[in-house]
Amino acid sequence: MKIITDFEQGLLLMVIGMSAVYVILLLVIAFGKGLILLVNRYAPTEVVAAKTVRKSAAAARGGDGAATAAIVSAVSVLTGGQGRVTKIETN
């Protein structure tokens, strides 16, 4: 019977411990992906209400209506309806 030295025993415990951690992390990833698939399949989708276009502060002040409308429209398209024009500076 072979006697394991302290270094060999420490190395063996380290390999076993790291392997256990790796397997547990793989299980966490697999269960997480499974949970995401399950929720996406059976949970109802969120209904997004249509957003109304508000008149911006720049449009309320007047000015060139076509240019203001173009700027407001471009900002709305680029930001997905999340952005809002509050001020338009002219030179």
28 or 86, greater pLDDT = 28
Residue pair 75/63 in contact (Cβ under 8 Å)? The answer is no
**Each residue of 11-47: pLDDT tens digit?**
999 999 999 999 999 999 999 999 999 998 888 777 7
Q: What does the alpha-carbon distance between residue 57 and residue 2 come to, in Å, rounded to a whole number?
A: 85
The reported pLDDT for the residue numbered 66 is 83
Q: What does the alpha-carbon distance between residue 1 and residue 3 come to, in Å, rounded to a whole number?
A: 7
> Is the predicted pLDDT of residue 51 greater than 70, yes or no?
no
Q: What does the alpha-carbon distance between residue 22 and residue 60 come to, in Å, rounded to a whole number?
A: 61
Report the predicted TM-score, pTM, of the whole model to 2 decimal places.
0.45
